[in-house]
Amino acid sequence: MKRTIIRGGLVIAAPPAAPNSGATDILIEGSRIIALGENLAAHDAEEIDAVGRIIIPGLVNAHMHTWQSGLRGVSADWNLLEYLVWIHGAAAPLYTEADLHVGTLAGALNQIACGTTTLGDWCHNAATPGHADAAVEALTDAGIRAVFFHGVPRGGGPHDAGPHPATEVDRLLAKPAFADDGLLTLGLAAPGPLYSPFDVAQADLSLARDRGLVISMHHSGGPPCPPEVWTRLFDQGLLGPHANFVHANQIDADLLKRLIDVGVSFTITPEVELNDGHGFPITGKLRALGAAPSLGIDIETGISGELLIAARVALAHVRGQDYEAFRAAPDDPPPARLTAGDALAWATIEGARALGLQDRIGSLEPGKQADLVMIDARALNLWPNNDPTAMALQASLANIEAVMIGGVWRKQAGRLLYGALDSLRVELEASGARIAAAANLPIRRLQA
């Protein structure tokens, strides 16, 4: 079995904990980490020099609609309603299997380039089994670890969804791509209690529970669910660690506490939430209840794919709220201070928890999968490295020197190890241009 030893890096093994003191070696065998320590002996391993680099667990982007990559940038100035009308109402029905494949592949490759090793790929445009297969194939082609959240388009309106098709879930589960030891896991992308009738939400949550799958549900905008909806879902035991809510901006503190108490996870997409009008990220509300968010990019139609930016936005937002509250009531006890290490934890282990993968990924420790990122701290923007945690959080795409997923290098020396980017670009541009034109998207063009 192939062995690799990464020597001499500054290792932040388990954010928010501080980095290991001194230079640390990481020994990898096959897909797993088998040892961390100083001056490890490993005569038969491939040696990788990591002096001057910061090594962090691979980032976990817990929520992204990767299929939309061909429409990058088009919704940068739209609000949530405009996004729904144009992307879901006009563009989504035009996607062929090939569009889904190229969008997912390009989006997933860029995630790797940005340091994401695990992607919560929320594919709610799998109109047919062929569309789902195309997206799954693209994730496999990219070499990324992912939870493929299978979702079907909702047609003419938010309440048109029937129950999630169980036969399709079972068909997907039987695919070799979802074997236990592989990079892909199946999940359900469902409308949930806010965006579907009670019977549908109940059926979808039951299906996920019965199949042992994580079910992820958008929850923002629109009038709140009636309290009896929640009561019935709690009473039936349908809410637990397998349930993930995305955004959750309008969920009040009492309900949030009940959901946290049964193990429900929350994914925020702070940059999109603030830009598009979802409401404010719930980072501070979660902290008050002893919980923490995971992070997502959500839509590359609106923002860039760099998860470390999402982490910085989330941290800046909650700190801004804290300082505002302090100005308004300076005698109140201050809330617990959130740190750069916390933000890195949201982007790593909290994402792993939200995706149900915390036993496999999210930190660098023996027995876990070798999913890691090497940040080149020798770069001009990261000198001097006074605080490796701060430098890791402030790293840009240009600093992501190398990315390993399951013991396999997917990026090295600053370059993706994927051969056909030029032809992929041509294909993605053609796909996006065709869909944007056919949907008549109101996008800004260059002046003639």
Distance of closest approach, residue 95 Cβ to Zn ion, in angstroms = 16
Instruction: Find, among 117, 135, 153, the residue nearest to 374 by Cα.
Output: 117
Closest CB to Zn ion among residues 118, 363: 118
- What Cα–Cα distance (Å) separates residue 180 from each residue in 30, 93, 122, 360? 16, 33, 20, 12
Closest CB to Zn ion among residues 155, 335: 155
Distance of closest approach, residue 427 Cβ to Zn ion, in angstroms = 24
Q: Which residue of the chain is nearest Zn ion when measured via CB?
A: 298
Closest CB to Zn ion among residues 273, 376: 273
* Paired tokens of 354: 């939200």
Closest CB to Zn ion among residues 31, 250: 250
With beta carbons less than 8 A apart as the criterion, state whether 241 and 356 touch: yes
Chain centroid to CA 23: how far? 30
Distance of closest approach, residue 218 Cβ to Zn ion, in angstroms = 6
> Distance between CA atoms of 326 and 294, rounded to whole angstroms?
26
Q: Which helix (H) or strand (E) holds 233?
A: helix 227-235
Length reported for the chain: 448
* Positions that interact with Zn ion (CB under 5 A): 298
Amino acid 325 reads A
Closest CB to Zn ion among residues 202, 216: 216
Distance of closest approach, residue 298 Cβ to Zn ion, in angstroms = 5
- What Cα–Cα distance (Å) separates residue 195 from each residue in 198, 218, 230, 238, 447? 9, 8, 13, 17, 40
Distance of closest approach, residue 259 Cβ to Zn ion, in angstroms = 18
Distance of closest approach, residue 420 Cβ to Zn ion, in angstroms = 29
With beta carbons less than 8 A apart as the criterion, state whether 59 and 117 touch: yes
Q: E strands of 74-163, at which residues?
A: 116-123, 145-150
Closest CB to Zn ion among residues 298, 371: 298
Closest CB to Zn ion among residues 8, 192: 192
Distance of closest approach, residue 60 Cβ to Zn ion, in angstroms = 16
Q: What are phi and psi of 327, to 5 degrees?
A: -65, -35
> Distance between CA atoms of 402 and 155, rounded to whole angstroms?
41
